[in-house]
A = this chain, B = another copy of it.
Amino acid sequence: MSRLTLGIDLGGTKILALVIDESGNILKRAKTKTKIQLGVEGIGRQMRETAEKALKKAEATWDAVREAGVAVPTSVDPETGDVLHAPALGWRNQPARATFEKIFGRSILLENDVTAGTLAECRAGAAKGARTAVGYFVGTGLGGGVVIDGRIRHGKRGVAGELGHEIIRHNGKRCGCGHRGCVEAYASKTAFCREFRRLILDKGKKSLLTELSSDKKLRSIKSSILAEAYRREDSVVCRVLNKGAWMLGVATANLYAILAPDCVVYGGGVMEALGPELMPFIQRGMETHLFGITAEDTSLRLSALGDDAVPLGAALLARDAVTE
């Protein structure tokens, strides 16, 4: 068993590593909590240990690994293929790729996490067969990825696909990026929590969240808690999430006017937890705002790969890079 590829999702809270064979099949996975305080080198060693665990489960050795793809929660410079800043990991001016290559002794490809996930959905998931697809990942923020004619669109400085920062309501709600009216300011957990605080803590609306959430200040709420409150028809949670999904539909209609992709895929923690409930609101928000195309020619789909999407995409890209 040789010529394996590693795919690693390096997130602010966890590291997920998987091993794929030459056909792109996922053999085994392993997971660990990210220790951000260790810095780039320490995290590099954490990644290698996690990857070794996955290899061991697959009854393979390190020698069988040809290359590795690492998905990161930030933009990758398309010219250098490197990442200097990653706020979610506390990196500033850190040339991560060289450090990882030294620790792995293999060529490393870095890619933005959501972009990698979108590519995996195109190749092996919900968008399989699509030539041009767009991915939205609803989590703490709203990430995006754009694949055109089978290839990732990186754009200048690698910022293409920052779909969460499309402005859909000029002078609208304040976004974490400092601007107003970005779709992320409506459709992300950060946006949901801000609305919950406004409605529950400031305006005194009743909500199950006050008992379900361990964080009584409602600064951060798990997707599973959101899902429970939503399914128990909590009016605050339903109102905020349905509105967010609707606004994501408006942004989706815009992408049809701009790119008219074959397919749009929705993933991330919130969609994993509440996809079937929220998809109809995204769909209706989009249908109400389409231009020059009817809903029959659009295709909105829930992520099929779940947590595997991001590391699988990183692995496939690393393999492509070496093969090319």
Q: Return the CB mask of A76-104 against B: 1 if under 8 Å, else 0.
A: 00000000000000000000000000000
A to B CB contacts below 8 Å, 10 in the list: A148-B148, A156-B256, A157-B260, A159-B256, A162-B292, A166-B254, A166-B258, A169-B181, A254-B254, A258-B259
From 193 to 244 in chain A, residues with beta carbon under 8 angstroms from any chain B beta carbon are: none
A165 at the interface (CB under 8 A from B): yes
Q: How far is the CA of A168 from the CA of B160 in the complex (A)?
A: 18
Taking a contact as CB atoms under 8 Å apart, the answer to whether A261 and B163 are in contact is no
A144: B residues at CB distance < 8 A: 258
Q: In chain B, what residue has the closest Cβ to A132?
A: B155
Task: Count the copies.
Answer: 2
Taking a contact as CB atoms under 8 Å apart, the answer to whether A257 and B168 are in contact is no
From 254 to 276 in chain A, residues with beta carbon under 8 angstroms from any chain B beta carbon are: 254-262
From 150 to 203 in chain A, residues with beta carbon under 8 angstroms from any chain B beta carbon are: 153-163, 165-172, 177, 179, 181-182
Q: How far is the CA of A166 from the CA of B292 in the complex (A)?
A: 12
A170: B residues at CB distance < 8 A: 168-169, 172, 181, 247, 250
Main DSSP-derived SS at the A contact region: loop
Contact A163 B75, CB 8 Å, known A157-B297, A291-B179, A292-B157: no
Contacting A159 at CB < 8 Å: which of B159, B250, B293? B293
Q: How far is the CA of A258 from the CA of B163 in the complex (A)?
A: 6
Q: In chain B, what residue has the closest Cβ to A184?
A: B291
Q: How far is the CA of A293 from the CA of B159 in the complex (A)?
A: 7
A6 at the interface (CB under 8 A from B): no
Min CB gap A76→B, angstroms = 12
Taking a contact as CB atoms under 8 Å apart, the answer to whether B75 and A159 are in contact is no
Q: In chain B, what residue has the closest Cβ to A161?
A: B258
Taking a contact as CB atoms under 8 Å apart, the answer to whether B255 and A159 are in contact is no
A171: B residues at CB distance < 8 A: 169
A114 at the interface (CB under 8 A from B): no
Contacting A155 at CB < 8 Å: which of B172, B250, B261? B261
Min CB gap A75→B, angstroms = 6
Taking a contact as CB atoms under 8 Å apart, the answer to whether A258 and B258 are in contact is yes
A166: B residues at CB distance < 8 A: 254, 257-258
A181: B residues at CB distance < 8 A: 169-170
A146 at the interface (CB under 8 A from B): yes
A167: B residues at CB distance < 8 A: 168, 250, 253-254, 289
Q: How far is the CA of A170 from the CA of B250 in the complex (A)?
A: 8
Contacting A257 at CB < 8 Å: which of B163, B172, B247, B250? B163
Q: In chain B, what residue has the closest Cβ to A251?
A: B167
Q: How far is the CA of A153 from the CA of B147 in the complex (A)?
A: 13
Taking a contact as CB atoms under 8 Å apart, the answer to whether B297 and A257 are in contact is no
